[in-house]
Protein backbone atom coordinates (compact mmCIF):
# COMPACT_ATOMS: atom_id res chain seq x y z
CA UNK A 1 0.00 0.00 0.00
CA UNK A 2 1.24 3.46 -0.89
CA UNK A 3 -0.20 6.82 0.15
CA UNK A 4 0.46 10.03 -1.77
CA UNK A 5 0.53 12.90 0.69
CA UNK A 6 1.28 16.55 1.19
CA UNK A 7 2.50 16.81 4.82
CA UNK A 8 0.86 20.24 5.13
CA UNK A 9 -2.59 18.72 4.42
CA UNK A 10 -4.76 17.93 7.43
CA UNK A 11 -6.64 15.20 5.51
CA UNK A 12 -3.31 13.52 4.74
CA UNK A 13 -2.22 13.67 8.37
CA UNK A 14 -5.57 12.23 9.46
CA UNK A 15 -5.22 9.37 6.97
CA UNK A 16 -1.71 8.58 8.25
CA UNK A 17 -2.96 8.62 11.85
CA UNK A 18 -5.72 6.15 10.97
CA UNK A 19 -3.36 3.89 9.00
CA UNK A 20 -0.98 3.84 11.98
CA UNK A 21 -3.81 3.15 14.42
CA UNK A 22 -4.86 0.17 12.28
CA UNK A 23 -1.28 -1.12 12.08
CA UNK A 24 -1.24 -0.84 8.29
CA UNK A 25 1.91 -1.55 6.30
CA UNK A 26 2.34 1.34 3.86
CA UNK A 27 4.83 3.54 2.07
CA UNK A 28 4.56 7.33 2.11
CA UNK A 29 5.10 9.23 -1.11
CA UNK A 30 5.44 12.98 -0.76
CA UNK A 31 4.15 13.61 -4.25
CA UNK A 32 5.16 17.30 -4.33
CA UNK A 33 8.80 16.19 -3.97
CA UNK A 34 8.62 12.80 -5.69
CA UNK A 35 6.40 13.95 -8.56
CA UNK A 36 4.43 11.20 -10.30
CA UNK A 37 5.06 10.73 -14.01
CA UNK A 38 2.24 10.91 -16.53
CA UNK A 39 2.32 7.09 -16.70
CA UNK A 40 1.99 6.82 -12.90
CA UNK A 41 -0.93 9.25 -12.91
CA UNK A 42 -2.64 7.22 -15.66
CA UNK A 43 -2.10 4.05 -13.61
CA UNK A 44 -3.58 5.64 -10.46
CA UNK A 45 -6.54 6.97 -12.46
CA UNK A 46 -7.19 3.46 -13.78
CA UNK A 47 -6.97 2.09 -10.23
CA UNK A 48 -9.33 4.81 -8.97
CA UNK A 49 -11.75 4.39 -11.87
CA UNK A 50 -11.69 8.17 -12.30
CA UNK A 51 -10.72 10.74 -14.89
CA UNK A 52 -7.98 13.35 -14.35
CA UNK A 53 -10.47 16.19 -13.89
CA UNK A 54 -12.06 14.17 -11.08
CA UNK A 55 -8.86 14.40 -8.99
CA UNK A 56 -7.88 17.95 -9.92
CA UNK A 57 -7.89 20.66 -7.29
CA UNK A 58 -9.57 23.36 -9.40
CA UNK A 59 -9.28 26.06 -6.69
CA UNK A 60 -5.45 25.98 -6.63
CA UNK A 61 -3.63 29.01 -8.02
CA UNK A 62 -2.01 26.92 -10.77
CA UNK A 63 -5.43 25.70 -11.90
CA UNK A 64 -6.66 29.26 -12.19
CA UNK A 65 -3.51 30.29 -14.09
CA UNK A 66 -4.00 27.41 -16.52
CA UNK A 67 -7.72 28.14 -16.88
CA UNK A 68 -8.65 24.54 -16.02
CA UNK A 69 -12.29 25.40 -15.34
CA UNK A 70 -12.66 26.12 -19.06
CA UNK A 71 -10.89 22.98 -20.30
CA UNK A 72 -13.06 20.36 -21.95
CA UNK A 73 -13.56 17.19 -19.95
CA UNK A 74 -13.52 14.43 -22.53
CA UNK A 75 -11.29 11.76 -24.05
CA UNK A 76 -9.68 14.23 -26.47
CA UNK A 77 -8.33 16.35 -23.58
CA UNK A 78 -7.53 13.56 -21.10
CA UNK A 79 -3.78 13.56 -21.86
CA UNK A 80 -3.66 17.36 -21.54
CA UNK A 81 -5.16 17.10 -18.03
CA UNK A 82 -2.71 14.34 -17.06
CA UNK A 83 0.22 16.41 -18.30
CA UNK A 84 -1.00 19.37 -16.21
CA UNK A 85 -1.21 17.17 -13.10
CA UNK A 86 2.33 15.90 -13.67
CA UNK A 87 3.72 19.38 -14.30
CA UNK A 88 1.79 20.90 -11.37
CA UNK A 89 1.48 18.12 -8.75
CA UNK A 90 -0.14 20.49 -6.25
CA UNK A 91 -3.25 20.11 -8.43
CA UNK A 92 -3.59 16.43 -7.48
CA UNK A 93 -6.30 15.70 -4.91
CA UNK A 94 -4.91 14.11 -1.78
CA UNK A 95 -4.34 11.76 -0.14
CA UNK A 96 -4.47 8.93 -2.67
CA UNK A 97 -4.07 5.43 -1.28
CA UNK A 98 -3.22 2.51 -3.54
CA UNK A 99 -4.74 -0.63 -2.06
CA UNK A 100 -3.33 -4.14 -1.97
CA UNK A 101 -5.89 -5.43 -4.49
CA UNK A 102 -4.73 -3.09 -7.27
CA UNK A 103 -7.39 -0.45 -6.70
CA UNK A 104 -7.01 2.99 -5.14
CA UNK A 105 -9.07 5.50 -3.18
CA UNK A 106 -8.96 9.21 -2.51
CA UNK A 107 -8.67 9.00 1.28
CA UNK A 108 -10.25 12.29 2.34
CA UNK A 109 -12.52 10.61 4.89
CA UNK A 110 -11.96 7.94 7.54
CA UNK A 111 -14.44 5.75 5.68
CA UNK A 112 -12.38 5.94 2.47
CA UNK A 113 -9.17 5.09 4.35
CA UNK A 114 -10.88 2.12 6.02
CA UNK A 115 -12.16 1.06 2.60
CA UNK A 116 -8.58 0.96 1.30
CA UNK A 117 -7.52 -1.07 4.33
CA UNK A 118 -10.23 -3.65 3.71
CA UNK A 119 -9.14 -4.36 0.15
* Catalytic residue chosen out of the listed positions 9, 39, 58, 72: 9
Paired with 29 in beta bridges are 4
SS (H, E, C) 24-59: CCCEEEECCCCCCCHHHHHHHHHHHCCCHHHHECCC
Q: Let me know if 9 is a catalytic residue.
A: yes
The whole-angstrom separation of Cα 83 and Cα 88 is 8
Q: Which residues are catalytic?
A: 9
Amino acid sequence: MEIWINPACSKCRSALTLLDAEGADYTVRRYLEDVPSEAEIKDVLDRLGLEPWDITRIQEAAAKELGLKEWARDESTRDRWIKALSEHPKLIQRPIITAEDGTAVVGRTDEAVRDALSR
